[in-house]
Structure 1
Amino acid sequence: MYSPISELYVDGRRFYVKRDDLIDPFLAGNKYRKLYTLLQTPPQKFKTVISYGGTQSNAMLAIAAMCKNKGWEFIYYTKPLSTTQKDEKGGNFYHAKRLGMKHIELANDLYRDFIASLRLNLDEETFVIDQGGAVEEARLGLEVLAKEIREQNLHLKSLATPSGTGTTALFLALSLPEYRVYTTPCVGDADYLREQMSALHEIPKNLTILEPKKKYHFAKPYIEFLEMQQKLLSGGVEFDLIYAPGMWRALLEQTDEEILYIHSGGVSGNESMLQRYKQKGFI
């Protein structure tokens, strides 16, 4: 069954939203697409899945949900956490641990080298997923998404999805050469995003990177992000507070055509992000 499409009006413009956020409470959005190949993998093929990154990660939660369903052990590495992060009673990290994720902290000075060595001497029953789900195996899931978009036949020629590593935007553009695919960097700048995508595949000409007019630090609270998220929520669709606001700001500032926005999920992380906004006095 295909994820539905909603209409959304923002600042007088009509957008369409591909509701991948409705696929599953935890295993939804672009993480469902990226993990599609592993979701089709027989449980007996692997025993352990390893990944790494931050504790706000949507990919971390999606992998935890997948591994629980498959009966696989899930090991997740991070840099040292604060006591506050460890004691949170909500948000992605909390829910991932409840799903059975085994969390291991690495010292800051050891983290980079340890992550670089993860694939050394791996056995055949262990699979490593790079931060954010940036793996070649993600391509099949994005091809399935591309097929859905074609068959839902909206008569649009522009799509949009925000980027961390750029995996979703890259493979979507490769799978839909007849569409213009917009994205914006949410981690680092446009040069960093191009570097990440180029490590997977040559960047196609139909992929357009919209550079933010202001530099934002990843996952930090910004009043304009909260205002954008609340504006979108008043239109009837909840988006995450980390990736979506920057993408929507870029679309409203730098485009003028009708666009299909691919909802990348991640709304489970809003619980902990809203607490941070309250601590900053923004709410």
Structure 2
Amino acid sequence: MQPLSDVESFRFRGRDYFVKRDELIDPLLSGNKYRKLYSLIQTPAERYRGITSYGGTQSNAMLSIAALCQQKGWAFHYTCKLLPERLKANPTGNLKRALELGMQLHEVEHKQYDAAIASLSSPADTSTLLVPQGGADPIAELGINVLAREISQWQQERGIEKLNVVTPSGTGTTACYLALALPGVNVLTTACVGDSNYLIQQMDMLGAVPLNLRILENEKKHHFARPYPEFLDIYRELKEAGIEFDLIYGANMWHTLLQNIDTIEGTILYVHSGGLMGNETMLDRYRHKGL
């Protein structure tokens, strides 16, 4: 089996790691979004006419779905909360690129958002597919199983007995399915959206949380997608060491991993979750805050 991405050695703060470079698979369909959308990438274009989804206006999943639909010739309808007037007048980052790829944006008021999302959950038209926020759906399992087979093959080739696979979590879809597919491996993650209890609730919707999945805790509570000096510092340090990670998930995961590093035995393989396109707008936010 030819892997979709390579594994590279990575030395950071005097310790050796391995990084699976999933962010290099495709510039727009990259990282865990490629894996989550893998089954749709393999789906014949005539199977669907369109995809609907919802979430934040700088979502990496939004951009990846927009790229997929553009490739397939499918319509893409995306529901979000009302945009700030400044962003509506001058779209930036993932939003700008998704709109350029043909995404049709549907804004709803904050108080009507939950009802609007609920109305999407049962589309009458079977030629239109609903992809939940962040790609948190059983449809993601196929692609993550492909990733698991690549990791298992690499582990066997290297003769690694004790392997820890690290990946950050929003909904926990990637971490949960990876742990299920790799029962002999420890899968380490951290909650980047909400806290660990929220993450467990999200994964419970996919099935029982595997026993080989460990949620690492950060010493400090961080709010999702908010600028933090420590995240910017570790982002810069990692980039100087040779690999750029995203500022929302990757920086959080590395920051948390390093706090827990002395409790982890064995080889560490970090699965790069992509999302680098979102760094443009996050760096703008850091500049705006004077960081």
TM-score, scaled relative to structure 1 = 0.97
Map of 1:15 onto structure 2: 17
The 5 Å alignment of 1:136-215 reads 136-153=138-155, 154=158, 155=160, 156-215=162-221
Deviation at 1:88, TM superposition (A): 4.2
Q: Structure 2 counterpart of 1:267, which letter?
A: L
Question: Which aligned pairs between 1:1-283 and structure 2 lie closer than 5 A?
Answer: 1-2=2-3, 3-88=5-90, 90-153=92-155, 154=158, 155=160, 156-256=162-262, 257=265, 258-282=267-291
Instruction: Compute the displacement of 1:6 (Å).
Output: 1.5
Cα offset, 1:221, TM superposition: 0.7
Displacement of 1:21: 0.2
Distance 1:84 1:181 in 2: 41
Secondary structure of the 1:259 match is strand
CA distance in 1, matches of 2:276, 2:28: 9
How has the CA–CA distance of structure 1 residues 121 and 92 changed in structure 2, closer, same or farther, with 3 Å as cutoff?
A: closer
Normalised by the length of structure 2, the TM-score is 0.94
CA distance in 2, matches of 1:217, 1:66: 30
Distance (whole Å) between structure 2 residues aligned to residue 91 and residue 13 of structure 1: 34
State the alpha-carbon separation in 2 of the partners of residues 8 and 104 from structure 1: 42
Please, which moves more after superposition, 202-211 or 146-155? 146-155
SS at match of 1:49: strand
| Residues 54-109 of structure 1: CA deviation (Å, up to 9, x unaligned) | 01211000000000000000001100111222244541111111111101101111
Give distance in 1, aligned partners of 2:47 and 2:75. 13
Q: Return 87-96 or 69-78, whichever deviates more.
A: 87-96
The CA deviation at 1:119 is 2.5
2: CA distance between counterparts of 1:184 and 1:279?
27
Per-residue deviation, residues 135-180 of structure 1 (Å, max 9, x unmatched): 1010000100011111122415100000000000000000101100
**Distance apart, 1:212 and its partner CA:** 1.6
Structure 2 Cα separation of the partners of residues 247 and 107 of structure 1: 32
The residue identity in structure 2 corresponding to 1:273 is: M
Shift of 1:121: 4.3
**Whole-angstrom distance in 1 between the partners of 2:126 and 2:272:** 34
Letter in 1 for 2:46: Q
Cα gap change, 1:237/1:88 in structure 2, threshold over 3 Å: closer, same or farther?
farther
Does the aligned pair in 1 maintain the 2:123–2:130 contact within 8 Å?
A: no
Pick which of 250-259 and 72-81 moved more: 250-259
What stretches of structure 1 of length at least 5 have no aligned partner?
A: none
1:17 Cα deviation from its structure 2 partner: 0.4
Partner secondary structure for residue 43 of structure 2: coil
Task: Tell me the distance in 1 between the aligned counterparts of 2:183 and 2:241.
Answer: 30
Shift of 1:281: 0.5
2:39 and 2:139 in contact (8 A); partners too: yes
Amino acid at match of 1:109: K
Percent identity, aligned pairs only, is 51
For residues 123 and 188 of structure 2, what CA distance do their matches in structure 1 show?
39
Is the Cα contact below 8 Å between 2:37 and 2:143 reproduced in 1?
Answer: yes
